[in-house]
């Protein structure tokens, strides 16, 4: 006959069960708290159409605000100087310069912005340095550029829940231009040997996670070049945990190399003057990280309207991945309320 516990024992048993349940819940909460979420977006250009939108009192980020604020850290590519000084360079077809009045819309939405791109120097060195100053005053960290070569190659450091994350910004746009020097301002260029040295130095400095954020590839090309693939793999071989890219004004897909994600191009985020669905579509990349690397990552598609304002859209073909799964998945995310 089965033995039944006496009623006198039940309180102790229930208490033990409650304690075990509490420990399990605390363990689950601790595991969640030990992860950090990052959001990356592609090209942000706040002159022309987006600049006019802002001047009219409207907010080009309003439809994606919730998606940005849902992460611990938000990072984008600032595809224009923010300045009042400088003159447009004579040797460029397209030059951009946003007004400092755009800064309140960036504050609280972005923790850091890469300036490693082909438009950072559109109005010369004074406007570039002014941009760095404005971002610092606004509480937004600039990376991928600086007042000299050393500063341009300093990683963006992010700290949360005991996790130390280093994000490195590089420009790979050809022809090579506006590169920082020993005593002049500019952007960080992706010289292979320098990139490898930066990644190794970040690891030696205590980085748990290292992510290069690249400005590379050919414009309007839906697939990455062989150079992009070679450089991405070189960076992972050197110790990077993931690689993220922008610049082509179009998304370029993703792949896994040695189990680590490479998202080649996020496409446009806030940008006007593009007419095809492909060039008006971008991805918001969300990564969850722990000390072992990337736990999971997802992409949310957005489409810019004629003024360059992004709107979340349904797209079941956006890529995503998860640790332990050896193939890229299609994980379209549902439309978020605008």
Report the alpha-carbon distance of residue 291 to residue 207 in Å, rounded. 9
* Confidence (pLDDT) at 7: 40
Residue 293 clears pLDDT 50, i.e. is over it: yes
* Confidence label for 174 from pLDDT (cuts 50, 70 and 90): confident
Is the CB of residue 321 less than 8 Å from the CB of residue 295?
Answer: no
pLDDT band, very low/low/confident/very high, at 33 (cuts 50, 70, 90):
low
pLDDT at site 332: 64
Question: What pLDDT does 231 receive?
Answer: 98
> Which band of pLDDT confidence, cut at 50, 70 and 90, is reported for residue 10?
very low
**Average of per-residue pLDDT across 286-302:** 98
CATH number (domain holding residue 241): 3.60.21.10
Q: pLDDT digit string (tens) for 61-116?
A: 999 999 999 999 999 999 999 999 999 999 899 999 999 999 999 999 999 999 99
Q: Are 336 and 312 in contact (CB under 8 A)?
A: yes
**Is 17 a domain residue?**
no
Residue 21 belongs to a domain: no
Do the domain assignments include residue 8? no
Q: Show the domain range for 63.
A: 36-332
Residue at 244 is within a domain: yes
Q: Quick check: is 9 in a domain? A: no
Q: Which residue has the higher pLDDT, 329 or 174?
A: 329
Report how many domains make up the chain.
1
Q: Tell me what pLDDT residue 15 has.
A: 43
Nearest partner of 178 among 245, 243, 128, judged by Cα: 128
Six-digit token string for 237? 């071989």
- Cα separation, 52 vs 323, whole angstroms: 43
**Cα gap 212→196, rounded to integer Å:** 11
Which tokens is 175 given?
A: 């022809």
d(CA 309, CA 62): 9
What tokens appear for 120 in the block? Answer: 């950072």
Question: Is cis: bond before 8, omega within 30 of 0?
Answer: no
Beta strand 281-290 pairing with 36-44 = antiparallel
Asked if residues 65 and 102 have their Cβ atoms less than 8 Å apart, the reply is no
pTM above 0.85, yes or no: yes
Q: Is residue 55 part of a domain?
A: yes
Helix (H, G, I), strand (E, B) or coil at 233: helix
Confidence of residue 273 (pLDDT cuts 50, 70, 90): confident
Residue 14, in any domain of the structure = no
């Amino acid at each position: 006959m089965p033995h039944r516990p006496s009623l006198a024992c039940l309180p102790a048993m229930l208490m033990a069960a409650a304690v075990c349940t509490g420990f399990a819940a605390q363990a689950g909460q601790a595991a969640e708290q030990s992860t950090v979420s990052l959001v990356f977006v592609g090209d942000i250009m706040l002159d022309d159409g987006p600049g006019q939108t802002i001047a009219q009192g409207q907010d080009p980020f309003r439809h994606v605000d919730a998606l940005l604020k849902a992460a611990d850290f938000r990072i984008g590519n600032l595809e224009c100087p923010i300045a009042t000084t400088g003159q447009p360079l004579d040797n460029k077809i397209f030059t951009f310069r946003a007004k400092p009045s755009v800064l309140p819309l960036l504050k609280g939405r972005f923790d850091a912005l890469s300036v490693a791109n082909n438009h950072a120097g559109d109005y010369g060195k004074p406007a570039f340095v002014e941009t760095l100053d404005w971002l610092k005053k606004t509480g937004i960290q600039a990376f991928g550029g600086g007042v000299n070569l050393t500063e341009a190659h300093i990683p963006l450091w992010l700290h949360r829940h005991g996790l130390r994350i280093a994000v490195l910004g590089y420009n790979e746009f050809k022809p090579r231009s506006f590169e920082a020097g020993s005593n002049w301002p500019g952007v960080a260029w992706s010289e292979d040997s320098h990139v490898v040295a930066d990644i190794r130095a970040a690891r030696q400095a205590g980085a748990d996670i290292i992510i290069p954020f690249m400005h590379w590839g050919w414009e309007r090309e839906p697939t990455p070049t062989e150079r992009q693939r070679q450089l991405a793999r070189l960076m992972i071989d050197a110790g990077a945990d993931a690689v993220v890219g922008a610049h082509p004004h179009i998304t370029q897909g993703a792949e896994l190399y040695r189990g680590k994600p490479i998202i080649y191009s996020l496409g446009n985020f806030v940008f006007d003057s593009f007419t095809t669905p492909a060039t008006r579509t971008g991805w918001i990349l969300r990564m969850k990280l722990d000390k072992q690397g990337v736990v999971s990552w997802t992409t949310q598609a957005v489409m810019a309207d004629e003024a360059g304002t992004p709107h979340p859209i349904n797209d079941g073909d956006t890529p995503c991945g998860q640790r332990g799964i050896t193939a890229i998945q299609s994980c379209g995310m549902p439309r978020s309320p605008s």
